[in-house]
Amino acid sequence: MTNEEIIVLLNKDLEDEHGAIVQYLSHAYAIGEGEMSCEIEAIARDEMRHLDWLAEAIVDLGGTPSLNRGTMKMTGKTVPVWMGNDVKLEEDAIAAYTEHSKLIGNRKIKRLLKRILSDEKAHHGDFAHFVDKAKKEKMKDNRGSASDKVTKVLDWGIAHEYTVILQYLFHSYIAKDDHFQKEMQDQAINEMQHLGWLAEKMIDKGGSPIIEHTKVNVATKKPAMLKADIAIEKKVAAEYDRAAKEIKDVKVKKLLQRIRDNELYHVEVFNDLSKEK
């Protein structure tokens, strides 16, 4: 199997990891605070690591990581059904990684896929347990249908955070500079925190988080990457500041101001990176 053929398979796996992350986070946020939602978020973090590993392997082979979102199973109105969908998603992942590890002869890639496969088998067991737990504890969907000024601002924030998570990760994968990669990944992790805070606040305010992104900048040269990253951070910092001044809810105001300050920090980091040779 050629490197190009391996890249195609790995990008399919990467896209499905991306879909799994969004599906599991959506379910965790909708369930609300509690032990099970924390465990589901931990599984989503495992899938984020898988996505990182796959992206790095793709770049090492001379490819470009896909930003597309793969298979998702988001049907159903009850928590047990959601957990059943998560079980099915893991079954699909187990089948795909098993097949791909047989097809690919590259020893290093084969080893990586087997490592990921072991996690997916563990996740499958976790979600099977969550089906029973959700039934036993009569867990419910905690999302609401509120659509007011506050929830619209939160929804905008979620879309932005999701977009820059993808953008900064993509830039980190493409970059050759280890220091640059680490800084970009650090900022992406901070944006992941923002997404979680905003989604949880959306549930608190009776809304329903919609995890969709806008256009992602896919520049491949460091100056162009940083120009785009600085521009978007300045723009959204100003937007968070404007929204915080207009919203009366004290807790939401403080959250937006905290995120605004984080975004301004990112501007400083990116400015420093742009000065490095």
Q: How many C-beta neighbours within 10 Å does residue 235 have?
A: 12
Residue 16: half-sphere exposure toward Cβ, Cα within 13 Å: 20
Closest CA to 143 of 207, 211, 210: 207
Tokens representing 213 are 């992104």
Token pair 């909708």 is found at: 30
Q: Which residues, at least 6 apart from 117, have a Cβ–Cβ distance to it below 8 Å?
A: 94, 97, 98, 101
Q: What angle do CA 193, 49, 131 make, to 5 degrees?
A: 80
CATH architecture assigned to 149-275: Up-down Bundle (1.20)
pLDDT at 261: 98
Give the architecture (CATH level 2) of 3-136.
Up-down Bundle (1.20)
Asked if residues 43 and 6 have their Cβ atoms less than 8 Å apart, the reply is: no
- Comparing CA positions, the residue from 233, 242, 240 lying closest to residue 265 is 233
- Angle (nearest 5°) at CA 12 between 110 and 178: 70
The segment(s) of the chain belonging to CATH 1.20.1260.10 are 3-136, 149-275
pLDDT tens series, the chain, 277 aa: 899 999 999 999 999 999 999 999 999 999 998 999 999 999 999 999 999 999 999 999 999 999 999 999 999 999 999 999 999 999 999 999 999 999 999 999 999 999 999 999 999 999 999 999 999 999 999 999 999 999 999 999 999 999 999 999 999 999 988 999 999 999 999 999 999 999 999 999 999 999 999 999 999 999 999 999 999 999 999 999 999 999 999 999 999 999 999 999 999 999 999 998 7
